[in-house]
Amino acid sequence: MKLQETIDALRKSSLGDVLMRFRQDFVLVGLLSMIANLLMLTPTIYMLQVYDRVLVSRNELTLLVLTMLMVSFFGVIALAEWLRSRLLVRIGIRLDGMLGSLVFHAGFSEYLKNARLDTVRTFTDLTNIRQFLTGTGVTAFFDMPWTPVYVVVMFMLHPLIGWLGILFSLALGVTAWAGQAASARGIDAAADASLDAVTYVQSKLRNIEPLHAMGMALPLRERWIERYERALGAASAQHDHQQRQQSLTKFIRYSMQSLTLGAGALLVLNGEMSVGSMIAGNVLMSRALAPLDMMVSTWKQFVQAKGGFFRLEALLAGYTMPERVEQSQELQGRIRVENLSATAADGRVPVLHGLNTSFQPGELVALIGPSGSGKSTFARSLLGIWPETTGTVLIDSIPVSSWDRSMIGPMSGYLPQDVELFDGTFAENIARFGDLDADRVIEAATMSGIHEMILRFPKGYDTQIGMGGSMLSGGQRQRVALARALYGNPSILVLDEPNANLDEAGERALNRALRARADAGKTVVVVTHRPSVLNLADRIMVMHEGHISLDGPRDDVMKTMIARKTASKPAEKTRL
C-alpha cells in the first residue's frame, strides 16, 4: 500500500482520525530523528580524522578541536533523543486522554451486549498502543529511513563495505518479514488462550461454595487444566518462535561485525583502505543496522499494538457516544413502552414480542409470570440495559438510549436478580462509589432495614465487605443491594425478585420501602412471586411467553386470575 493510501485509510477510521491529529507532533519527532541520525555520523568522522590525520600529523590542537566538536555534537544528539522521547510520551498521554473515556464506554457497552474475551482485551489495548508509542520500538521506525544514508557513506568508504551493508540489511529484513505472520498468530493465540484460562477459573471462583459442597471441583479442574495446558502450549510455541528469530538475528549481528572488520582488514592489507576507514566502517555498519535489529527485538510489542489498534477500531466503529440530553428539571419517572421486542443475547431467540404499555409516577406495579416468560428481560429493557431490543422505551418522553447515563443513573434504582456487590465498604457500595453523602447512605440503609446490622460491625459503614460481598450472607447482600438501589431517592425503581433471599424482617423492610417510594410519587416496578408484594401493588402485569397477558388494577387482575384458575379445574377433572 502506498503512503498516501495508508494515510487515507487512517483518515477513514475513527481511531486513525485521532492519530492523524498528532501528525504535526510526529513530523517534529521525525525532524528530531533526522538531527540525531545525521549527527550519529560524528563517531565515524572523528575516527577517520584521528587515525588518518591526527596520528599522522601528531597535531594536538587538531585533536583538541575535533574532540570538543565531537562532545558538542554528542550533547546535541542526547538533547534531540531526550526531546523525542519526551514528545512521544506526551503523545501517548494525550492519546490516552482523548480515547480513554470513549474506549471505556464503548467496551462497557459491548460487554453489556456480549461478554466476549475480545471485549475484555480491549481494555488493555489502548495501554499497549501507548506503551509502544512511548517505547524503543517506535523510535526504530523513525530511525530506519536513515539506514540507506549510512549505507551510502559505507559505499564512500569502499564499495565492498557498502555491499556488505546491503547484504546484512536484507538478511535482517527477511528475518523480520518471515517471522511476522507466525509471530502475530502466535502472540494472539497465546494471549487468547491465557485469557480464556484465567477468565474460566475466575468465573468458577464466584460460585465456590456450591462447587465445594457438591464435589464439582474435580471435573471443573480437569476442564481448567485443558485450558491451562492449551495456554501453556500456545505460549511455549510463541516463545520458541521468538527465540529462534532472536537467535538468527544474533547470528547475523555477530557475523556482521566480524565480517565487516575482516573485510576492512583485507582491504587495508591490499592498500585499498586506511585503518581509520576500517574501524569507521565497522562502527557505521553497527549503527546502520541498529534500527532493524531493534525492530526485530521489539516485534512482539509491535504486533500487540497493531492487534490492539484493529480491535479498538472494530469496537469504536460500531459505537456512537449518545447525545447528552439536558434535563433542567428532576426526572418525573413516566415510562412509555412502544412495540418493544427483545431477543436473547445471541440475537436469535425471541424473548419479548411487541409490548405496548406505560408506567406512571406514584404507581407500584408487580410484574409476575412463569419462569422464562420474559419478566427479567422486560425489567432490564425499561432501563435500557438489555441491548438486543427493537421498539422504543421512553422515559419522560425521551428514548432511554438517548439519556446520558451519568444523568439518568443517579435518578434510577435497579436491583438485578443476581446480586453483585463490589470490593469496598458498606458506605461505598450503598453510595454507588460516588461522592459519599452520609445522610443519604444512612437513609437508604434504614429503608432497607440494614442500618442496625451495619452498626454491629466493628467499623460500621467503613467495614470492607470483600470481593463481591463475600463477607456477607445472601440475605445481607440482597439488602445492601436494595439500599444501593434506594440511594439518592431515585424517581424510577426497578427491582427483580428483591425478596428472593430475604427473611421475614427483611421482607417487611422491603415492603415498607416499596410502599413509601410509590406514595412519594416514584415509579416502582417489581418482578415478584411473593403474595406480600402483590398485596401492596397498585397494578399487576402478568407476562406469558413474552406477551402481556393481563394488565390492570390489582384487584381486577387477581379476580380474573382466580376465575381462570377455577374454570380450569373442572376441565382438568374431565380429562382425568
**146 three-class SS:** helix
Q: What H or E segment, with its residue span, contains residue 495?
A: strand 492-496
Give the domains, in start order, of the chain with CATH numbers: 136-297 (1.20.1560.10), 335-575 (3.40.50.300)
Q: How far apart are CA 265 and CA 271, in angstroms?
A: 10
Q: Which three cell numbers stand for residue 483?
A: 439500599
Taking only the tens of pLDDT, the chain with its 576 residues reads: 343 444 444 445 567 677 778 888 888 988 998 999 888 888 888 888 888 788 888 888 888 988 999 899 999 999 998 999 889 888 888 887 777 777 777 776 766 666 555 556 677 788 888 888 877 778 888 888 888 888 888 898 889 988 988 888 888 878 777 766 566 666 667 777 777 777 777 666 666 666 666 766 677 777 777 777 777 877 777 777 777 777 887 788 788 888 888 888 898 888 888 888 888 888 888 888 888 778 777 777 787 788 778 878 777 776 666 555 555 557 788 999 999 888 876 667 788 888 899 999 999 999 988 888 888 888 888 888 877 778 888 888 888 877 877 788 888 889 888 888 888 889 999 898 888 888 899 988 888 888 888 898 888 888 888 877 778 887 888 888 889 999 888 889 999 888 877 778 778 888 888 888 888 889 999 998 777 788 888 899 998 888 888 888 988 888 888 887 777 665 554 444
Give the neighbor-by-neighbor strand order of the sheet with 364-368. Answer: 412-415, 492-496, 523-527, 364-368, 539-544, 547-553
Compute the Cα dihedral for 20, 25, 28, 34 and give only its sign: negative
* pLDDT value of position 90: 86
- CA-nearest of 140, 24, 123, 1 to 81 is 140
> 549510512: which residue's cell?
150
Pairing mode, strands 492-496 and 412-415: parallel
Q: Which residues of 387-422 are buried (b: 16+ CB within 10 A; e: fewer)?
A: bbbeeebebbeeebeebeeeebbbbbbbbbeebebe
Query: What pLDDT is recorded for position 72?
Result: 92
Residue 562 burial (CB < 10 Å; 0-12/13-18/19+)? exposed
**Predicted local distance difference test score (pLDDT) of residue 75:** 92
The full DSSP string for 222-264 is HHHHHHHHHHHHHHHHHHHHHHHHHHHHHHHHHHHHHHHHHHH
What are the grid coordinates assigned to 547, written together?
406477551
Triad 261, 266, 272: Cα angle to 5°: 110
Please name the amino acid found at residue 106.
Answer: A
Which residue type occupies 544? Answer: H
Do 342 and 374 contact (CB within 8 A), yes or no?
yes
Instruction: Report CA dihedral (32, 34, 38, 40) to the nearest 10 degrees.
Output: 60
Of the candidates 501, 433, 514, 421, which has an alpha carbon nearest to the alpha carbon of residue 467?
A: 421
Provide the 8-state DSSP code for 370: S
Q: How distant is the alpha carbon of residue 504 from its chain centre?
A: 42
Per-residue buried b or exposed e for 164-177, using 16+ beta carbons within 10 Å of the residue's own CB = bbeebbebbbebbe
CA angle 496-116-337, nearest 5°?
40
C-alpha–C-alpha distance, residues 52 and 487, integer Å: 83
